[in-house]
Copies of this chain bind each other. A is one copy, B any other.
Amino acid sequence: MPDTKPHANGERVLADLHALRALGAYKTGVHKPTFSEPHRQSLDWLVRKLPDAGLTGAIDGIGNIVGKSAKPGPKLLAGSHLESQNYAGWLDGPLGVVYALEAARVLNADPSVKGAVEVAAWVDEEGHFGSFLGSRSYVGQVGEAEIDTARDRTNGRAMRDALADMGLAGRPRIASEPGRHIGYLEAHIEQGDTLESGKLAIGVVTSIVGIWQYRITFTGEQNHAGTTRMAVRKDAGLALAKFCVAIDEQFPAACGPRTVWTTGRITLDPGAPSIIPGGAEMLFQIRDDDPSVIARLEQLLDTMADEVSARGPCTVIVEKIRTGAPAMMNAGFQDAIEAASKALAGGRSLRMPSGAGHDAQMLATVMPAGMLFVPSIGGISHHWTENTDDADIVTGAQVFVDACRRILAR
Q: Would A357 and B226 count as touching, CB distance under 8 A?
A: yes
Do B285 and A273 touch across chains, with their CB atoms under 8 A apart? Answer: yes
A248 to chain B, nearest CB (A): 6
Is A265 interfacial (CB-CB < 8 Å)?
yes
Name the segment of A68-76, A166-174, A229-237 touching the other chain. A229-237
B238 touches A263 (CB 8 A): yes
10 other contacts beyond A193-B232, A224-B355, with CB at 8 A cut-off?
A191-B224, A224-B356, A225-B260, A225-B262, A227-B381, A230-B260, A235-B262, A238-B245, A238-B248, A264-B272
Residues of chain B with a CB closer than 8 A to A230's CB: 252, 259-261
Q: List 20 A-B contacts (CB under 8 A).
A: A190-B227, A192-B224, A192-B227, A192-B229, A194-B229, A211-B226, A224-B379, A225-B260, A225-B262, A225-B285, A225-B287, A238-B245, A238-B263, A241-B245, A263-B277, A264-B276, A265-B268, A265-B273, A266-B268, A266-B271
Q: Which residues of B contact A223 (CB under 8 A)?
A: 379
Closest B residue to A272 by CB, please name it: B264
Q: Can you list, as one digit per residue, whether each of A64-96 has a CB less than 8 Å from chain B (1) or not (0)?
A: 000000000000000000000000000000000
Within A251-306, the residues touching B (CB, 8 Å) are 252, 258-268, 271-277, 283, 285, 287
Asked whether B226 lies within 8 Å of A260 as measured between CB atoms, the reply is yes
**Separation in Å of the A391 CB from the closest CB of chain B?**
22
A395 to nearest B CB, angstroms?
Answer: 21
Contact of A191 among B227, B258, B271 (CB under 8 A): B227
Of all chain B residues, the one with the shortest Cβ separation from A229 is B260
CA distance A248 to B237 in the complex (A): 12
Is B264 a contact of A273 with CB atoms below 8 Å? Answer: yes
Do the beta carbons of B355 and A226 come within 8 Å of each other?
yes
Partner-B contacts on A (CB < 8 A): 190-194, 209, 211, 213, 223-230, 232, 235, 237-238, 240-242, 244-245, 248, 252, 258-268, 271-277, 283, 285, 287, 354-357, 379, 381-382
The complex is assembled from copies of this chain, and their number is 2
Chain B residues near A267: list those with CB within 8 A: 266
A308 CB, nearest partner CB in chain B, Å: 13
- Inter-chain CA distance A193–B223, complex, in Å, is 11
**CB-defined contacts of A264 to chain B, threshold 8 Å:** 225, 237, 268, 271-277
How many whole Å from A371's CB to the nearest CB in chain B? 13
**CB contact under 8 A between A381 and B209, given known A264-B274, A275-B264:** no
* B226–A356 touching, CB < 8 Å: yes
CA gap between A210 and B276 in the complex, in Å: 17
Return the 7 tightest CB-CB contacts between A and B, nearest first.
A192-B227, A226-B355, A241-B244, A227-B355, A225-B262, A264-B273, A241-B241
Report how far A6 CA is from B133 CA in the complex, Å.
Answer: 79
Cross-chain contact of A209 among B191, B226, B355, B356 (Cβ < 8 A) = B226
Question: Are the C-beta atoms of A355 and B244 separated by less than 8 Å?
Answer: no
Q: Once the chains are docked, how many angstroms separate the CA of A209 from the CA of B276?
A: 17
A34, chain B: closest CB distance, angstroms: 17
A355–B173 alpha-carbon span in the complex (Å): 64
A322 CB, min distance to chain B CBs, angstroms = 9
- Give the shortest distance, in Å, between A230 (CB) and chain B (any CB): 6
Let me know if B266 and A273 touch, CB within 8 A.
no
A265 and B273 alpha carbons, distance in the complex (Å): 6
Contact partner of A274 (CB less than 8 A), chosen from B242, B275, B285, is: B285
